[in-house]
Amino acid sequence: MSLRLYDTLTKEKRPFTPLDPKNVRMYVCGPTVYDFAHIGNARPVIVFDLLFRMLRYIYGPDQVTYVRNITDVDDKINDRAARDFPGLPLNDAIRAVTEKTADQFQTDVEALGCLPPTFQPRATDFVLPRADGKTDMVTLIQQLIARGHAYEAAGEVLFDTESMPEYGALSGRKLDEQQAGARVAVDAHKKHPTDFVLWKQSSAEEPGWESPWGRGRPGWHIECSAMAEAYLGQTFDIHGGGLDLIFPHHENEIAQSRCAHGTQAMANTWMHNGFLQVEGEKMSKSTGNFVTIRELLNDWPGEVLRLNMLKTHYRSPIDWTVKGLEESARTLDDWYWVAADSKGGHPANKVIDALSDDLNTPQMIAALHLLRNSAAAGDEKDRGKFAASLRMLGFLSESAAEWAARKQQGGGVDAAKIDSLIADRTDARANKDFKESDRIRDQLAAMGVTIKDSKEGTSWEIAR
Helix H or strand E segment including 352: helix 349-356
Q: Please identify, using beta-carbon distances, which residue of 144 and 224 lies nearer to Zn ion.
A: 224
When asked if residue 40 is in the footprint of ligand AMP (CB under 6 A), the reply is yes
Contact in structure between 383 and 346 (CB atoms under 8 Å): no
Query: Can you tell me which of 29, 145, 260, 400 binds Zn ion, judged by CB under 5 A?
Result: 29
Partner residues linked to 450 by β-bridges: 461
> What is the contact mask toward ligand AMP in residues 216 to 245, using x (rule: CB under 6 A)?
-------------------------xx-xx
Please list the helix, strand and coil fractions of the chain in percent, rounded to the nearest 5, in that order.
50, 20, 35
Partner residues linked to 281 by β-bridges: 278
When asked if residue 324 is in the footprint of ligand AMP (CB under 6 A), the reply is no
Shortest gap between Cβ of 46 and ligand AMP (angstroms)? 10
Q: Which does 218 bind (CB under 5 to 8 A by kind): ligand AMP, Zn ion, none?
A: none
Which residue lies nearest ligand AMP, judged by its C-beta?
242
Contact segment (CB under 6 A) with ligand AMP among 16-24, 269-277, 359-367, 453-461 equals: 269-277
Size of the chain, expressed as the number of residues it contains: 464
Rounded CA separation 8/428 (Å): 63
> Could you tell me where the beta strands, DSSP code E, fall in 139-252?
150-153, 156-159, 196-201, 209-211, 214-218, 236-242
When asked if residue 267 is in the footprint of Zn ion (CB under 5 A), the reply is no
Shortest gap between Cβ of 244 and ligand AMP (angstroms)? 5
Write out the binding residues for Zn ion, residues 206-225 only, by CB under 5 A: 224
- Range list of H helices, 85-173: 90-111, 137-146
Rounded CA separation 16/265 (Å): 15
Shortest gap between Cβ of 39 and ligand AMP (angstroms)? 8
> What is the contact mask toward ligand AMP in residues 279 to 318, using x (rule: CB under 6 A)?
----x-----------------------------------
Contact in structure between 245 and 41 (CB atoms under 8 Å): no
**What residue ranges bind ligand AMP (CB under 6 A)?**
29, 31-32, 40-41, 43-44, 241-242, 244-245, 273, 275-276, 283
Residues near Zn ion (CB under 5 A) are 29, 224
